[in-house]
Structure 1
Amino acid sequence: IHPLSDGVPRQSGEMLEEARDIVMEMVDWDAIDLILGIEAMGIPLAACLSIATGKPLVIGRKRAYELPGEVIIDQSTGYSKGSIFINDIKPNERVFVVDDVISTGGTLRAVLTAVENAGAIVQDVVAVFEKGSIVSEIVAETGWPIRSLVRVRMEGEQVILLD
């Protein structure tokens, strides 16, 4: 349990600023047209990045608006199954995707595939936490530019930092 991935204990403004500043330095913002944050815990960092960069923000939501062009993503993770709904992604837009945690990669694969199916370009992807080695497997398989701030492995209830 961590404030940036679970919202418990509460997130401090200072913690969000630190995460924002690290991501700001990782990304070539001139190559980004749109920020896509994944509900729920990807939203706070995505909003901070949108404010800092002036780039527009869309949210991958767990609720449909049924607007024209809405992209529906059926996703399955090691924890749940459901749908994510994305609106207002345009063809050829260079999209930066931000999320809190990559565990099984199920949500991320589904979202990035949907971005490409909408005709947009997956320009960069950053998650706060990466559990295990799934990101390297996805990158090797797809070529998507995926990075994380912190890599961890779980051993029972113990969190092991990988780098």
Structure 2
Amino acid sequence: MNEQQTMAMRETLTVQSRQVFPPDTNHHGTLFGGKLMAYIDETAAIAATKLARGPVVTASTDSVDFIKPIRVGDVVDIEAMVSWTGRSSMEIFIKITSEDLLTRTKSIAALSFLTFVALDENGKPTRIPAVIPETDEEKWLNETAIKRAEHRKVRKKESEDLARYFTKGK
């Protein structure tokens, strides 16, 4: 049997920066949550593709926690990294930092976890390398991922049950 390939977590690190303009904001003058979620999904997909070196799809947005409003003029840095891998699925950790360029004030604005699945040429799940954590932060993310994965399984089952409930008799 072939030994599973590995990749350092840092090799999947992807960072994108965006500046917030008035059309990106809601009536409160803060970045639309949906706009930030699109940035998160895009950046996570790039990190996932760095690991899989092939097609990937978003399996779930596990969490997006908005911590601090992001205002017009702020620059948003979206950092994504594969934090854990299964056979074909992977958890992506995303840290969103906002910076007021005039005051140089930086703060964590949001944190997120997504799950992606790698696909083969036929659109079927395919095996991916395992990620290897090196820093203390990476080790913590990797070690705590099992608990998050268990929570995802429970939540997915609940969603499937809910979907069956809403499609009864249709």
The structure whose RCO (Cα within 8 Å, separation 6+) is larger is 2
Does TM, normalized by the shorter one, top 0.5? no
Of the two, which has the highest radius of gyration?
2
TM range (shorter): under 0.3
TM-score by length of 2: 0.25
Q: Name the TM-score, length of structure 1 as normaliser.
A: 0.26
